């Protein structure tokens, strides 16, 4: 591991997130700046196994900072879960003269990276790219801020029609295990109620809250529901259930779905991605490995990949209170 690093590879894996391209661009340009070569690996770990590589120069990543998705594409790889697959990946990297790897993604991406480090002692730095903001060791993940804006813009539109018709809307947003998107967009869109997995409101309190809302003269209501919330089997069942209790309500259900992953990244996500892309290369060149770069208290920091995976970010109690107060 003491040979100099002359070439760094970068890949994106797992669900895509706006800002991944900005991170790729920063990795490539940091390589140019520090005079090491850079190659892009297509389709995540699967491309590592198949040797799907392309040399990337500073010009290759012009005009991508504002594009959603990932130019390197992303994919799940069953093969990388096998020893055989990882061996192929290692051989491909060696053959291409790659001395270190930047992996951009979330939990699954880092788990794969850790395994690879353990087996091959290959230098790897992780960058948190996921809209869910569920990675420990960084205040924000790349794509999260953009997803929040996408969601509030859509809810603003639904609010137009909701208040024109005095309707009750249940809107499902992403976040299977974490309610960050639901809580923040719920506050940001002025939702009357927010349902998240971390805090089981329970059907009874939801019903009470909707009753109170009506008594206060609110003629339309928005309830933001996190994918992972546990009231009802899913948001449609929840809607049906509420309809039984309030038969005179005009209830609509909307599942926002995959649009939440796309779109031009916000300025904040572009800057975050640029910082972390540069930092990842600098840490690799400083012989660091096995860590994720993140931003904590506005400073670039690192955390062990094992911690990033295992620990959880807690929902901020202050935000729950703000949500309660501002929806009176």
Annotated active-site positions, please?
132
Contact stretch for a copy of itself (CB under 8 A) within 79-87, 92-100, 103-111, 150-158:
150-158
Q: Which is nearer to a copy of itself, 2 or 35 (CB)?
A: 35
Based on DSSP, count helices (H) and strands (E) in the chain, helices before strands: 11, 11
Minimum gap (Å) between residue 222 Cβ and a copy of itself: 11
Q: Which is nearer to a copy of itself, 2 or 298 (CB)?
A: 298
- Our finding on whether 86 is near a copy of itself (CB under 8 A) is no
Q: Which is nearer to a copy of itself, 270 or 283 (CB)?
A: 270
- Our finding on whether 54 is near a copy of itself (CB under 8 A) is no
Binding mask 8-27 for a copy of itself (x = CB under 8 A): ----x--xx-x------xx-
Rg of the chain on CA atoms, in Å: 22
Burial of 214 (0-12, 13-18, 19+ CB in 10 A): middle
Among residues 186, 102, 140, the alpha carbon closest in space to that of 301 is found at 140
- Our finding on whether 261 is near a copy of itself (CB under 8 A) is yes
Residue 304 Cα to chain centre, angstroms: 19
Question: 220: annotated binding-site residue?
Answer: yes
Q: Which of residues 308-327 bind a copy of itself (CB under 8 A)?
A: 316, 318-319, 321-322, 324-327
- What spatial distance separates the first Cα and last Cα of the chain, rounded to whole Å? 60
- Which residue pairs from 119-122 have beta carbons closer than 8 angstroms and sit at least 24 positions apart in sequence? 119/83, 119/86, 119/90, 120/86, 120/90, 121/1, 122/90, 122/93, 122/289
- Our finding on whether 69 is near a copy of itself (CB under 8 A) is yes
- Our finding on whether 221 is near a copy of itself (CB under 8 A) is no
């Amino acid at each position: 591991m003491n040979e100099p690093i002359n070439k760094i590879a970068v890949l994106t894996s797992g669900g895509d997130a706006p800002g991944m391209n900005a991170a790729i661009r920063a990795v490539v340009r940091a390589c140019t700046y520090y005079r090491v070569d850079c190659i892009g690996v297509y389709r995540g770990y699967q491309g590592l196994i198949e040797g799907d590589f392309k040399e990337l120069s500073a010009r290759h990543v012009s005009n991508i900072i504002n594009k959603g998705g990932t130019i390197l594409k992303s994919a799940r790889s069953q093969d990388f879960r096998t020893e055989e697959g990882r061996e192929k990946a290692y051989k491909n990297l060696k053959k291409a003269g790659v001395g270190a790897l930047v992996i951009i993604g979330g939990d699954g991406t880092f788990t794969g990276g850790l395994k690879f480090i353990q087996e091959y002692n290959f230098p790897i730095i992780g960058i948190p790219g996921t809209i869910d903001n569920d990675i420990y060791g960084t205040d924000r993940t790349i794509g999260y801020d953009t997803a929040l804006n996408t969601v509030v813009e859509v809810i603003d539109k639904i609010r137009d029609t909701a208040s024109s018709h005095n309707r009750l809307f249940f809107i499902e947003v992403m976040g299977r295990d974490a309610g960050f998107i639901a809580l923040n967009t719920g506050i940001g869109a002025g939702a009357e109620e927010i349902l998240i997995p971390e805090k089981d409101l329970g059907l009874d309190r939801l019903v009470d809250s909707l009753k109170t809302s009506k008594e206060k003269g609110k003629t339309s209501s928005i309830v933001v529901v996190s994918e992972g919330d546990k009231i009802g089997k899913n948001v449609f069942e929840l809607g049906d259930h509420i309809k039984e209790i309030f038969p005179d309500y005009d209830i609509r259900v909307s599942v926002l779905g995959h649009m939440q992953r796309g779109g031009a990244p916000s300025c904040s996500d572009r800057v975050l991605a640029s910082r972390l892309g540069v930092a990842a290369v600098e840490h690799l060149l400083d012989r660091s490995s096995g860590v994720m770069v993140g931003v904590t208290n506005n400073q670039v920091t690192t955390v062990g990949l094992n911690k990033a995976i295992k620990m959880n970010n807690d929902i901020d109690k202050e935000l729950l209170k703000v949500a309660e107060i501002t929806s009176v």
